[in-house]
Amino acid sequence: MVISRERYLDDSSRYLVTLSLASRTLETHGWLSSLPAEVQQQVGDVLTRALDSVQHLLHEAPAGPGDVGETAHFGCGT
């Protein structure tokens, strides 16, 4: 079970980030999957608010989108 929200960090389509809540065990998967749709939506709303905060912090950082070169690879989950 994964509940995710995505957001572009600027007006282009180059800086897309995803924030996710993912189950890592069968028990957690079953529990999250059994939650009512309204609770799953509320979790998504929390992730959206967290993305608001992350976006704000990143835009305030010394190097913002466009200030750093592209990389050939990146570590997912690290």
Q: What are the pLDDT digits (tens) for 19-58? A: 999 999 999 999 999 999 999 999 999 999 999 999 999 8
The boundaries of the domain holding residue 30 are 2-60
Query: Quick check: is 51 in a domain?
Result: yes
| The pLDDT value given to residue 63 | 73
| The pLDDT value given to residue 70 | 62
| The pLDDT value given to residue 13 | 87
Instruction: Give the residue with greater pLDDT, 69 vs 49.
Output: 49
Nearest Cα to Cα of residue 3 among 39, 27, 55: 39
pTM of the model: 0.74
pLDDT at 67 over 90: no
Number of structural domains found in the chain: 1
The alpha helices in 8-66, defined as continuous H runs, are 26-34, 37-60
Query: Quick check: is 31 in a domain?
Result: yes
